[in-house]
Structure 1
Amino acid sequence: MGSSTAVGGDGRAATENDSRLRILVATAEVLERRGVTKLSMSEVAVQAGISRMTLYRFFPSKEHLINEYTNWETDRLEAGLAMATAGLRGVDRVDATLKFLVDYQTSYSGLRMIDIEPGHVIARMSALMPTLKSRLAAILSGDDAELAAGAVMRIIVSHYVVSGDDADEFLAQLRHAAGLRPSDAPVRRSGRVSRPRSS
């Protein structure tokens, strides 16, 4: 009963949300190929499988689309991070945060956008880094938490700009910078995560 009211009784709101999401996903795919400067609304519409008229109904200008895409991307990052660390504390929370950041970066659709439009990517990373750094510093322990969080963020940026090491090596570097010892990392056994035994 409440859901039909929320969607106007005919599913219109749900359909609009689906269309909006399709447009944002299509924007990510076009940005990966073209960058911000060469992004075309027509190409986004084709990629999303909608008409230009429908695209402009949701996003009246390219600037509006880019702003909304940036907000959506940030929300996805924050929601993913919250889900990955839910219910965890201490070292487990730190390790889950680092693992999420590695997974997010290695699966990020705009991974090589830096090759197409470095100025935009650097500006975007510069805007995101202080927030991620302060969140990380808040969950790290010790007097050097701020310094360790800064080192982690610099490693993340460096891996983005010059990719090379595999995900395990990337994660090991982040753990080291965050001050986690190898014995701090959870061990996965039979689908369950358990803490390593101290000798």
Structure 2
Amino acid sequence: MSTNTDTSTRDRILAATAEVLSRSGSKLSLSEVAMEAGLSRPTLYRWFASKEELLSAVTEHERTLFSTGISNVTAGLRGAEKLDAALQFIVTYQQSYSGVRVVDVEPEISLEQLSKAMPPMRESLQRLLPGPNGAVKAAAAVRVAISHYIVRSDDADQFLAQLRHAVGITSALATDPT
């Protein structure tokens, strides 16, 4: 098997999992994932030995998409403008979820994955927050974001305002590139 085929099959399985999750109102069915991906169930198990492993891979894939997105929206920016672009991306990213999310279907697995995701998210945001309270501000912002992920809110403006408050920037400061 070539690497391209490996990546393509893995991506197909992850996309199928996301699709099944978006339709599912209860437990994730691996048979349904295999059917959605156009694979046999044994082939799915060659890639992911358990539902937990598959959901972990979906979570990791989401983390990669998130990190890439943050990097893309902050490229070339500096200071408060860069920080605000990252905060706006967090809101947009979380608001873009449609349908059922892993936290809605498998909360125990999701909470375990979130606890693993928090330190790298905090470190990533902390790099944008110079000063002695950068770590505290980054931790507060991550907890606000996690809270909005777990208990979804459709008010993007309030979400952004809470993130800005957590890191100590005002809307005026965020839009002023100086």
* Same fold at TM > 0.5: yes
Tell me whether 150-159 or 16-25 shows the greater mean CA deviation: 16-25
Instruction: Note if 1:176 corresponds to 2:134.
Output: no
* Residues 181/160 of structure 1: CA separation in 2 closer, same or farther (3 Å cut): same
* Residues 100/63 of structure 1: CA separation in 2 closer, same or farther (3 Å cut): same
Q: Which secondary structure does the structure 2 equivalent of 1:139 belong to? A: coil
Instruction: Note if 1:137 corresponds to 2:154.
Output: no
Deviations 1:124-144 (A, max 9, x none): 111111111122122113322
Separation of aligned partners in 2, 1:72 and 1:157: 17
* Residues 112/42 of structure 1: CA separation in 2 closer, same or farther (3 Å cut): closer
Q: How does 1:16-35 map to 2 (within 5 A)?
A: 16-32=6-22, 33=24
* Residues 147/43 of structure 1: CA separation in 2 closer, same or farther (3 Å cut): same
From 63, 71, 83, the equivalent of 1:82 is 71
TM-score by length of 2: 0.82
* Residues 80/145 of structure 1: CA separation in 2 closer, same or farther (3 Å cut): same
Alpha carbons 2:21, 2:105 under 8 Å: kept: no
2:169 maps to amino acid: L
Deviations 1:50-105 (A, max 9, x none): 33354345445545433433332222222122112112221111111111111111
From 70, 84, 89, the equivalent of 1:100 is 89
Higher helix share: 2
Q: How many percent identity over aligned positions? A: 47
Separation of aligned partners in 1, 2:8 and 2:167: 39
Separation of aligned partners in 2, 1:150 and 1:162: 18
2:149 maps to amino acid: Y
Alpha carbons 1:92, 1:185 under 8 Å: kept: yes
* Residues 164/92 of structure 1: CA separation in 2 closer, same or farther (3 Å cut): same
2:61 maps to amino acid: W
Separation of aligned partners in 1, 2:112 and 2:157: 28
Tell me whether 85-94 or 68-77 shows the greater mean CA deviation: 68-77
Alpha carbons 1:28, 1:109 under 8 Å: kept: no
Q: Which runs of 5+ in 1 are unaligned?
A: 1-7, 187-194
